[in-house]
């Protein structure tokens, strides 16, 4: 059976990135939110490139 994709709104992504930027480890943020570490790493990369235009 195929798993349904989860969608995250801009505010959720921004919150996760902000937690990482304040010093909380990416792994810990991912575990708290129940998502993969790689996903947060991609969001951080997108944010660092575009800031306000990201997500």
Q: What is the pLDDT of residue 3?
A: 83
The answer to whether 30 touches 40, Cβ cutoff 8 Å, is yes
pLDDT of residue 31: 97
Q: What are the helix and strand counts (H, E) for the chain?
A: 3, 0
Q: What is the pLDDT of residue 51?
A: 81
Instruction: Tell me the whole-structure pTM to 2 decimals.
Output: 0.84
Return d(Cα 54, Cα 28) in angstroms, integer.
23
- pLDDT at residue 52, rounded to an integer: 76
So what's the pLDDT on residue 8? 93
Q: What is the CA radius of gyration of the chain?
A: 11
Cβ atoms of 41 and 26 closer than 8 Å:
yes
Predicted confidence (pLDDT) per residue in 1-55, tens digit: 788 888 999 999 999 999 999 999 999 999 999 999 999 999 999 999 988 778 7
């Amino acid at each position: 059976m195929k798993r349904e994709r989860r969608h995250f709104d801009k505010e959720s992504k921004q919150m996760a990135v902000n937690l990482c930027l304040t010093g909380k480890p990416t792994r810990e943020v991912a575990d708290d939110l129940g998502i993969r570490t790689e996903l947060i790493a991609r969001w951080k990369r997108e944010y660092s490139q575009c800031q306000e235009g990201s997500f």
